[in-house]
């Protein structure tokens, strides 16, 4: 009984995928629209995209930018967020600036950044960096704010200096919350990557997608949507595994990310 | 004392913004950046004021706001109802959870080409994209908010004679309100971002379109104006939501969450 229950739980995401594809298939058969291929047709177009050397190079370029942007953002945002969470002065120093930046679509900065840095890797990586930073800062901030004062006092009583306390008490205590932020950031990195490539059509997965749209290759469009969607789900699942291992000791938090653009 | 602390915080917070604007001005005045690429802040802000007085620019703002509100409201209604329903009924939860688990990490912008092909280039595709993006944070926080309502509250309401169909509105929704409103806040910021992006991709009006047009003609000043406008819109909407929140949640004990 318990076995079958875990089995259903494991199978549920796959069933959901299958169900969604089925709905798609039925909808496209029902609508019979030229520009809306069936799910089967779209899936059939995937191997030709993934087999093409050119598009693999595009994917590799995308992933490289995403990895660099995400890595840099995490390394810089976590300490900043933690300091904001522990010091009122630092928090009130950065809060208004971040609030002003928050609602600006980071990918919309692309045209301006392109004027300065060109259409190359640097501009796109910078945009991904900006996009990922905010949720990571926010969650680190929230995590650090919730750390129990008593633990910090005992740390101070045992002779830890302020930076040591930040690293050895605040960082581990805020880790679950920080990782939630990183998970949001990861999905966001993917989204920003696609949008930045759509605006500066030079290379990358977003480039393939929107060029196919412009040229009316609808199979490719929908196949790319499946591939990008699968990347999002795959990265998220991988990160979730790593997160679960790192914070085994903490109680289970949100098991679905609050992704945002 | 408290007023003074708030004032100090406010002043402190203005420092980095002032520094940023100062740096911006310095870059231009000392000739590190050519004016064509980085117009001085004074020029940008006066251009913004001048634009705000014109009818065409206000119409662009209006169409952006229309899409934003339409998409956001649909997301709120759908998200709260599905989220609360899933929290209340295990059967609905069993269906909704895996689907949400698959759809939430999906980059919704990638769906935009599909929406364009299906519903066309008008308002609908943009509104649907905003809804798709804003929906999940609202849905998830409603779900978590409603599923962590204390059972004792429900029991005491029932013991006090509340009919079962009123428990949802009298107990569950008010208890889940803080969490729902947090989700709405995230959803609102996302809506601002997404509506702008959608307008940048394909549109004939709206703030995103203004930016794209300016970028095509290399009008650096006009590129900054829509960006600053969307940032201001985001701040104003966020402030309104915050006011609504403190009105709805009067009596709730809350630590100050800013940002």
Contact B165, A236 (CB under 8 A): no
- B256 located within any domain: no
B114 and B196 belong to one structural domain: yes
Segment B24-68, tens digit of pLDDT:
888 878 877 777 777 888 888 888 888 888 888 888 899 999 999
B44 and B122 belong to one structural domain: yes
B153 and B81 belong to one structural domain: yes
Q: Is B33 helix (H, G, I), strand (E, B) or coil?
A: coil
List chain B residues with CB under 8 Å of A91: 258
- A183 located within any domain: yes
List chain A residues with CB under 8 Å of B224: 112
CB contact under 8 A, B189 and A102: yes
Cα separation of A127 and B209, whole Å?
Answer: 19
Cα separation of B67 and B230, whole Å?
Answer: 13
pLDDT at A113: 83
CB contact under 8 A, A93 and B16: yes
With 0-12 CB in 10 A as exposed, 13-18 as middle and 19+ as buried, what is B132? buried
B239 and B163 belong to one structural domain: yes
Burial A137-157 (b: 16+ CB within 10 A, else e): bbbbbbbbbebeeeebeebee
Residue A259: pLDDT above 60? no
Give helix A218-246 / helix B112-119 axis angle, nearest 10°. Answer: 140
Domain of B50: which CATH number? 1.10.3720.10
- A8 located within any domain: no
pLDDT at A101: 81
CB contact under 8 A, A105 and B192: yes
**Among the partner residues A108, A145, A257, nearest to B105 by beta-carbon distance:** A257
Please compute the mean of the pLDDT values over residues A51-73 and round it to a whole number: 89
Q: What is the mean pLDDT of chain B?
A: 83
Domain count, chain A: 1
Contact A108, B208 (CB under 8 A): yes
Contact A213, B113 (CB under 8 A): yes
B78 and B159 belong to one structural domain: yes
CA-based nearest distance B136→chain A, Å: 7
**Among the partner residues A115, A138, A261, nearest to B193 by beta-carbon distance:** A261
- A12 located within any domain: no
CA-based nearest distance A148→chain B, Å: 14
pLDDT at B1: 47
Q: Is A97 on the interface with B (CB under 8 A)?
A: yes
Nearest Cα residue to A242 out of A152, A178, A189:
A178
B190 and B71 belong to one structural domain: yes
Q: How far is CA A88 from the centre of its chain?
A: 29
Scanning B114-173 for CB atoms below 8 A from A yields: 114, 116-118, 133, 136-137, 140-141, 144
Cα separation of B249 and B76, whole Å?
Answer: 18
- B79 located within any domain: yes
B92 and B183 belong to one structural domain: yes
**Which band of pLDDT confidence, cut at 50, 70 and 90, is reported for residue A68?**
very high
Segment A219-248, tens digit of pLDDT:
888 888 888 888 888 888 888 888 888 877
Domain of A46: which CATH number? 1.10.3720.10
- A27 located within any domain: no
Residue A70: pLDDT above 90? yes
**Torsion sign over Cα A49, A53, A56, A58:** negative
Cα separation of A74 and A52, whole Å?
Answer: 33
**Which band of pLDDT confidence, cut at 50, 70 and 90, is reported for residue A261?**
very low
Cα separation of A166 and A79, whole Å?
Answer: 9
**Among the partner residues A92, A190, A195, nearest to B13 by beta-carbon distance:** A92
> In which domain, by residue range, is B21 found?
1-35
B23 and B52 belong to one structural domain: no
CB contact under 8 A, A258 and B113: no
Share of chain B above pLDDT 70, in %: 94
Segment A9-51, tens digit of pLDDT:
777 778 888 888 888 888 878 877 777 788 887 888 888 888 8
Q: Model pTM? A: 0.82
pLDDT at B13: 76
CB contact under 8 A, B106 and A233: yes
Give helix A205-215 / helix A53-86 axis angle, nearest 10°. Answer: 130
pLDDT at B76: 95
- B257 located within any domain: no
pLDDT at A221: 84
3-state helix, strand, coil in chain B (%, to 5): 80, 0, 20
With 0-12 CB in 10 A as exposed, 13-18 as middle and 19+ as buried, what is B146? buried
B101 and B50 belong to one structural domain: yes
CA-based nearest distance A248→chain B, Å: 21
List chain A residues with CB under 8 Å of B131: none
Cα separation of B73 and A55, whole Å?
Answer: 39
- A166 located within any domain: yes
- A254 located within any domain: no
CB contact under 8 A, B196 and A108: yes
Strand partners, A201: A203
Contact B65, B205 (CB under 8 A): no
**DSSP of chain A, one letter per residue?**
-HHHHHHHHHHHHHHHHHHHHHHHHHHHHHH--TTS--HHHHHHHHHHHHH-HHHHHHHHHHHHHHHHHHHHHHHHHHHHHHHHHH-HHHHHHHHHHHHHHTTS-GGGGHHHHHHHH-SSHHHHHHHHHHHHHHHHHHHHHHHHHTS-HHHHHHHHHTT--HHHHIIIIIHHHHHHHHHHHHHHHHHHHHHHHHHHHHHSBTBSHHHHHHHHHHHT-HHHHHHHHHHHHHHHHHHHHHHHHHHHHHTTTSPP--SS-----
List chain B residues with CB under 8 Å of A102: 189, 234, 259
Nearest Cα residue to A69 out of A127, A108, A113:
A127
Segment A149-181, tens digit of pLDDT:
888 888 888 888 888 888 888 888 888 888 888
**Which band of pLDDT confidence, cut at 50, 70 and 90, is reported for residue A260?**
very low
- A117 located within any domain: yes
B99 and B191 belong to one structural domain: yes
Residue A258: pLDDT above 50? no
DSSP symbol at B163: -
Contact A209, A217 (CB under 8 A): no
> In which domain, by residue range, is A78 found?
37-246
Residue A102: pLDDT above 80? no
Q: Is B205 helix (H, G, I), strand (E, B) or coil?
A: coil
B97 and B221 belong to one structural domain: yes
Strand partners, A203: A201
- B254 located within any domain: no
List chain B residues with CB under 8 Å of A199: 200
Residue B259: pLDDT above 70? no
**Rg, chain A, Cα only:** 22
- A13 located within any domain: no
Residues contacting B94, CB < 8 A, separation 6+: A12
B120 and B70 belong to one structural domain: yes
- B258 located within any domain: no
Domain count, chain B: 2
């Amino acid at each position: 009984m318990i076995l079958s229950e875990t089995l259903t739980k494991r199978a549920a995401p796959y069933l959901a995928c299958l169900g969604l594809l089925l709905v798609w298939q039925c909808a496209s058969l029902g609508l019979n629209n030229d520009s809306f291929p069936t799910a089967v047709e779209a899936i059939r177009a995937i191997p030709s995209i993934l087999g093409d050397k050119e598009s693999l190079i595009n994917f590799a370029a995308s992933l490289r930018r995403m990895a660099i942007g995400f890595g840099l953002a995490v390394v810089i945002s976590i300490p900043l967020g933690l300091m904001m969470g522990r010091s009122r002065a630092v928090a009130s120093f950065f809060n208004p600036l971040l609030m002003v930046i928050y609602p600006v679509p980071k990918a919309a900065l692309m045209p301006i950044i392109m004027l300065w840095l060109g259409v190359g890797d640097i501009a796109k990586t910078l945009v991904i960096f900006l996009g990922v930073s905010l949720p990571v800062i926010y969650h680190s901030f929230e995590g650090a704010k919730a750390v129990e004062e008593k633990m910090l006092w005992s740390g101070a009583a045992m002779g830890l200096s302020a930076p040591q306390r930040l690293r050895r008490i605040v960082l581990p205590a805020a880790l679950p919350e920080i990782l939630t932020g990183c998970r949001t950031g990861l999905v966001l990195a993917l989204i920003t990557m696609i949008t930045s490539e759509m605006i500066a059509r030079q290379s990358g997965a977003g480039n393939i997608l929107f060029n196919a749209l412009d040229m009316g290759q609808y199979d490719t469009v929908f196949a790319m949507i499946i591939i990008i969607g699968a990347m999002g789900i795959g990265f998220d699942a991988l990160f979730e595994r790593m997160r679960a291992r790192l914070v085994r000791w903490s109680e289970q938090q949100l098991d679905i990310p609050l992704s945002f653009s | 004392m408290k007023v003074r602390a708030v004032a100090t915080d406010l002043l402190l917070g203005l420092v980095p913004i002032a520094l940023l604007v100062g740096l911006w001005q310095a870059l231009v005045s000392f000739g590190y950046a050519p004016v064509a690429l980085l117009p001085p802040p004074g020029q940008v802000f006066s251009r913004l004021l001048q634009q705000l007085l014109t009818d065409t620019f206000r119409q662009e703002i209006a169409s952006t706001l229309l899409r934003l509100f339409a998409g956001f409201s649909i997301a709120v209604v759908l998200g709260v109802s599905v989220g609360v329903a899933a929290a209340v009924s295990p059967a609905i939860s069993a269906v909704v959870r895996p689907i949400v688990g698959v759809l939430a990490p999906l980059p919704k912008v990638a769906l935009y080409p599909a929406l364009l092909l299906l519903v066309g280039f008008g308002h609908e595709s943009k509104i649907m994209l905003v809804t798709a993006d804003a929906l999940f944070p609202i849905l998830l926080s409603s779900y978590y908010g409603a599923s962590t309502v204390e059972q004792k509250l429900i029991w005491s309401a029932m013991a006090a004679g509340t009919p079962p169909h009123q428990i949802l509105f009298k107990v569950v929704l008010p208890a889940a309100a803080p969490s729902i409103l947090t989700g709405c806040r995230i959803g609102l910021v996302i809506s601002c971002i997404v509506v702008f992006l959608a307008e940048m991709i394909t549109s004939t009006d709206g703030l995103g379109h203004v930016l794209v047009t300016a970028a095509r003609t290399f009008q650096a000043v006009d590129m900054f104006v829509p960006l600053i406008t969307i940032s201001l819109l985001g701040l104003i909407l966020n402030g309104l939501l915050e006011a609504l929140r403190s009105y709805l949640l009067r009596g709730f004990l809350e630590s100050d969450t800013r940002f």
